[in-house]
Structure 1
């Protein structure tokens, strides 16, 4: 039994958005410095990690599964 609860399109979208958030925050400084920067890094990192692992803890708590099968 696989622990993965995320489908392929869900993972791709999370990866693209997560990398975009991290890149915009780091390279362009689009997010103001301070607390918002830290929050942006955390959100981006969480999105990338969940995309790579295929496991979303929030989905598990809410009983959501976007993976077919």
Structure 2
């Protein structure tokens, strides 16, 4: 696994991931009233947090994208 996610990308992924988890489980927005929307938002949030923590995005690897300067 090679690093392909830069610092700004990691911060944005962590913020959006945490936001989606908050929306999915702690908010009472009508947007996430259905289980499909709730678990979909939670799944996307977990994936964003995981790619942020691991500094590696499988989709970036497939597409050949690197947002880090030192890798």
TM over 0.5: yes
Shift of 1:6: 0.4
TM-score by length of 1: 0.91
The equivalent residue for 1:65 is: 66
SS in 1 for 2:56: coil
The equivalent residue for 2:57 is: 56
The equivalent residue for 2:22 is: 23
SS in 1 for 2:26: helix
**How many Å separate the matches in 1 of 2:19 and 2:13?**
10
TM-score by length of 2: 0.88
Which residues of structure 2 form unaligned runs of 5+?
Answer: none
Structure 1 segments of 4 or more deviating over 6 A?
none
- Would you say how many aligned residue pairs link Structure 1 and Structure 2? 68
Which residues of structure 1 form unaligned runs of 5+?
Answer: none
C-alpha RMSD of the superposition: 1.2
